[in-house]
């Protein structure tokens, strides 16, 4: 697509019109985005943000699309993608500086190669660094991205600003970076030196556990619900006898109950309706109201489960 319709974007940025977002989400669901741009530089990003502001066009930043459910009617605005761009990566002693578009498994492998521990948990998470910072991604309350962050660089009011860890609030699947709608450009991670074989063994154990317990080879959006305090959402769903329950083409995974898989041409409505059934049934059984971890993207009426 010719970039001339956008103000001075370089050849490093790729522009798509009416791009099918199902191609950019792991669950392979969703309608079209009016504009979809893979941004190739900070300069282009600044110009693009100025352009959408002048045109009053809504926009969102999309990472790897691993925890997003896109409306079947799509997104009548701009999707900015950092994946396959914004992927600078530099190792400095026990620190790694990485762009927000770097995939977490790649980051984990680079750390292991340089005998740096702390990123083992990220080996099986199919997301970008920026997305991980937004949601404080991890595999437990112990292993979270916030535990190894030194600082985060964001683009705010057309200026790059570095925010130190003490000025960022993190909690379980929460970050003030997301709440403040910060546009994350890169982050500096502080790791510890460790024997490569020890790091590798831990990574292999994590991957083996994920393979045994999660439907990694299916089309899914990761964990659908957040874990309540000291409880497992998956266990609560399983105890509600919801494994294998299906609405349209969406099905509760028989391998892990907190995953919904796109079994056969599922729609976003199928998934949202199934989530509502899960939430209601678990609440009926336990009095616990599960909260979605997957996020909704769409312009039209938001399904009740996401409100």
Do residues 138 and 121 lie in contact, with contact meaning Cβ atoms separated by under 8 Å?
A: yes
Which one is catalytic: 194, 239, 293, 295?
293
CB neighbourhood size of 258 (10 A): 23
Distance, CA of 190 to CA of 3 (rounded, Å): 38
Which one is catalytic: 13, 81, 223, 253?
223
Which one is catalytic: 173, 175, 186, 188?
173
The answer to whether 173 is a known catalytic residue is yes
Do residues 236 and 282 lie in contact, with contact meaning Cβ atoms separated by under 8 Å?
A: yes
User: Which residue is associated with the tokens 């792991």?
Assistant: 26
CB neighbourhood size of 129 (10 A): 32
The answer to whether 14 is a known catalytic residue is no
Do residues 158 and 49 lie in contact, with contact meaning Cβ atoms separated by under 8 Å?
A: yes
Do residues 303 and 279 lie in contact, with contact meaning Cβ atoms separated by under 8 Å?
A: no
Torsions phi, psi for 208 (to 5 deg): -65, -40
Structure tokens at 167: 């000025």
- For the sheet with 95-99, list strands across it: 89-92, 95-99, 183-190, 149-156, 159-164
Structure tokens at 97: 């500086």
The answer to whether 19 is a known catalytic residue is no
What amino acid positions are annotated as catalytic residues?
A: 173, 223, 293
């Amino acid at each position: 697509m010719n970039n001339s319709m956008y103000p001075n974007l370089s050849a490093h940025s790729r522009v798509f019109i009416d791009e099918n977002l199902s191609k950019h989400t792991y669950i392979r669901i969703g309608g079209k985005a009016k504009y979809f741009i893979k941004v190739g530089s900070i300069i282009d990003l600044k110009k693009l943000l100025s352009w959408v502001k002048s045109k009053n066009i809504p926009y969102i930043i999309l990472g790897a699309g691993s925890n997003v459910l896109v409306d079947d009617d799509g997104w009548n605005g701009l999707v900015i993608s950092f994946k396959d761009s914004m992927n600078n990566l530099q190792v400095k002693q026990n620190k790694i500086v990485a762009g927000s578009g770097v995939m977490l498994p790649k980051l984990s492998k680079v750390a292991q190669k340089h005998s740096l521990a702390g990123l083992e948990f990220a080996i099986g998470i199919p997301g970008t660094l920026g997305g991980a910072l937004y949601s404080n991604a991890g595999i437990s309350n112990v292993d979270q991205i916030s535990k190894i962050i030194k600082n985060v660089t964001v683009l705010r009011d057309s200026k790059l600003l570095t925010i130190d860890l003490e000025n960022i609030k993190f909690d379980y699947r929460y970050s003030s970076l997301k709440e403040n709608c910060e546009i994350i450009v890169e982050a500096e991670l502080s790791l510890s030196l460790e024997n490569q074989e020890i790091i590798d063994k831990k990574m292999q154990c994590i991957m083996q556990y994920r393979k045994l317990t999660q439907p990694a080879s299916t089309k899914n959006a990761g964990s659908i619900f957040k874990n309540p305090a000291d409880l497992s959402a998956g266990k609560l769903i399983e105890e509600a006898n919801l494994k294998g329950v299906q609405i349209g083409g969406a099905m509760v995974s028989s391998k892990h109950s907190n995953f919904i898989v796109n079994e056969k041409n599922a729609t976003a409505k199928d998934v949202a309706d199934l989530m509502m059934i899960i939430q209601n049934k678990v609440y009926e059984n336990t009095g616990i109201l599960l909260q979605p971890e997957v996020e909704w993207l769409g312009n039209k009426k938001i399904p009740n489960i996401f409100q």
